[in-house]
Structure 1
Amino acid sequence: MDLATQPVTAKHRDAYYWRLLATAASFTLFGLGGLCLRLLVFPLLSCLPGDAQTHRQRARHTVARLFWFFVRFMARTGVLTYDIQGAEKLGRPGQMIIANHPSLIDVVFLIGLVRHANCVVKQSLWQNPFTRGPLRRTDYISNDGSMDMLDAAADALKSGQTLIIFPEGTRTQPGQPPAFHRGAAAIALRGAKILTPVIIKVSPTTLTKAEPWYRIPNRRVHFSFRVGADIDPQTFAAQGPAPQASRKLNDYLHHYFIKELAEDERSAP
């Protein structure tokens, strides 16, 4: 239900106006942090010794720590709560982490959790003045849909990097099942040692596609992250030629997430 149709008294529940103010402060902090990284932090880090890989890892670690600070800031100011199950299974060499994408900030959680991970990110963020600096320094991969993108992602996995990817390519429409693109499956078959799903649930929904930051729900948002069992991509690679194997793996992942999300809904209080 749209917030505009809610009774005015409902907006006072769960510290609505405080959470609105804290949400505005959070997004202001995020934007200023991006500019600070680009104009101050990264130029200083570039003066430190080390080769290209060392500089890249240093940049990723810095971004991850700041992202986790951002998450903790939102939690401490009452914007959200969260729980994470199985985080110790994330961050292994050659591991491809795949997740559904219900909200704008779930990627912030995952990058904050996996300090040195690579990530396939939306192409438009490379033109955003608040995010393009960190993206270039971290050498994240632009999701432009090209073969070069697939090659870069597969090569990153082969070199032992951990890769985070959202197979939907964009945020899930509320009330709709996730729709996966086959590119993620193709990358997994070409380069991943292991494939690890992360099931993300947000209740109530917030920061969905085309939803402005100030349209906050009447109660505090809770993010739930559950790391699933590992999947061996070579099991699917042995089932036929690359296009066929990619289709089978993509179908498996699609149905896996639909099933897991449905089970979470049934078990919710």
Structure 2
Amino acid sequence: MTDRRGVGNPLWIAYEYIAMGLGLGSLAVLCLIWLPCALLFQLVLPQRISQPFGRWMISSAFRIYLQILTLFCACRFDLKEIDRLRDEGPLIVAANHPSLLDVVMIISRLPNAVCIMKASLMDNILFGAAARLARYIRNDAALDMIIGSRQELAQGAHLVIFPEGSRTLDFPIGPCSSSVGLISNRSKVAVQTILIEFSTPYLGKAWPLFRRPQLPLTCRVRLGRRFPPPTNLKSFTSELEGYFRSELGENPTPKMAPAA
């Protein structure tokens, strides 16, 4: 159980605000440091070099970022089970999506991961250059998304996708789309589920970006069932959603406490 003995203490509340600023600020600094390099490498390096290098750099930066959160922001991450996938591939890695930290945690352990990203993030000045260098996949054109996913999987990548399409609003998981099953069916690649559990829904759909966290924050990521490529998309999507619900329980992430 998470130790919250500092709740209500003005010094602890101040620390939570400082930790929030450090956490968000350090991510922005890492992105800004890599931004001009990513723009340059995208222009001068051939794709066969820039793509794996870009992915490795994102994975390394996310690892550094999680270490910062661990050392200075009272965050604890149990991610060791993801390491078992590092030398396996290709795989479709499908996870529930309680927080903005989900993709950071997964990619920090999988240096050949490729994400399906919102088009707005791909065009974002802070994140876009790095994502384009790593050849992440836009989600605004369904056919291109499927073709791009197949190509990456054929080259042995880990395709990271969130079946809900957005962060969870109604826990334990929101409705799942058919995109995971469709990509698996077309690529003939298995779906490896990942189950993410947080002590609080920090940076979740209903948690404002600048609302202070409830520290300490703990997160556990565990490997779930591996599904073979489906033949019936509707049945598979229903089974996948049901599996997440059964594994995560009725309320795996505590509700938000009132802001102090």
Matched, 1:143 2:139: yes
Q: Structure 1 residues 66 and 228 mapped into 2: Cα distance closer, same or farther (>3 Å)?
A: same
Matched, 1:248 2:244: no
Q: Structure 1 residues 202 and 188 mapped into 2: Cα distance closer, same or farther (>3 Å)?
A: same
Matched, 1:261 2:248: yes
Matches within 5 A, 1:1-269: 10-12=7-9, 15-40=12-37, 43=40, 51-91=46-86, 92-175=88-171, 177-233=173-229, 236-237=230-231, 245-262=232-249, 265=252
- Cα deviation, 1:35-92, whole Å, max 9, x if unaligned, reads 22121365268656xx412210011001110011111101111342111252233232
The answer on whether the counterparts of 1:87 and 1:113 sit within 8 Å (CA) in structure 2 is yes
User: In 1, Cα distance between the equivalents of 2:24 and 2:63?
Assistant: 14
User: In 2, Cα distance between the equivalents of 1:215 and 1:34?
Assistant: 22
Structure 2 residue matching 1:119: 3-state secondary structure:
strand
Runs of 4+ residues deviating >6 angstroms: none
Q: Aligned letter for 1:159?
A: Q
Q: Structure 1 residues 214 and 258 mapped into 2: Cα distance closer, same or farther (>3 Å)?
A: same
Q: CA deviation at 1:192?
A: 4.3
Q: CA deviation at 1:196?
A: 0.6
Q: CA deviation at 1:230?
A: 2.1
| Alignment coverage as a number of residue pairs | 247
The answer on whether the counterparts of 1:30 and 1:70 sit within 8 Å (CA) in structure 2 is yes
* TM-score, scaled to structure 1: 0.83
Q: Aligned letter for 2:154?
A: K
The answer on whether the counterparts of 2:23 and 2:73 sit within 8 Å (CA) in structure 1 is no
Q: Aligned letter for 1:261?
A: L
The answer on whether the counterparts of 2:201 and 2:207 sit within 8 Å (CA) in structure 1 is no
Match of 2:3 in 1: none
The answer on whether the counterparts of 2:114 and 2:157 sit within 8 Å (CA) in structure 1 is yes
User: In 1, Cα distance between the equivalents of 2:176 and 2:202?
Assistant: 21
Q: Aligned letter for 1:254?
A: E
The answer on whether the counterparts of 1:64 and 1:112 sit within 8 Å (CA) in structure 2 is yes
Q: Structure 1 residues 254 and 105 mapped into 2: Cα distance closer, same or farther (>3 Å)?
A: same
Q: Aligned letter for 2:63?
A: W
Q: Structure 1 residues 174 and 220 mapped into 2: Cα distance closer, same or farther (>3 Å)?
A: farther
- Structure 2: which 5+ runs fail to align? 1-5, 254-260
Q: Structure 1 residues 103 and 192 mapped into 2: Cα distance closer, same or farther (>3 Å)?
A: farther
Q: CA deviation at 1:13?
A: 7.5
The answer on whether the counterparts of 2:193 and 2:225 sit within 8 Å (CA) in structure 1 is yes
Q: CA deviation at 1:229?
A: 3.1
- Structure 1: which 5+ runs fail to align? 1-8, 238-244
The answer on whether the counterparts of 2:197 and 2:252 sit within 8 Å (CA) in structure 1 is no
User: In 2, Cα distance between the equivalents of 1:169 and 1:257?
Assistant: 14
The answer on whether the counterparts of 1:100 and 1:199 sit within 8 Å (CA) in structure 2 is yes
- Cα deviation, 1:148-199, whole Å, max 9, x if unaligned, reads 1122112221232211111111100154532111111101111142211000
* TM-score, scaled to structure 2: 0.86
> Percent identity, aligned pairs only?
24
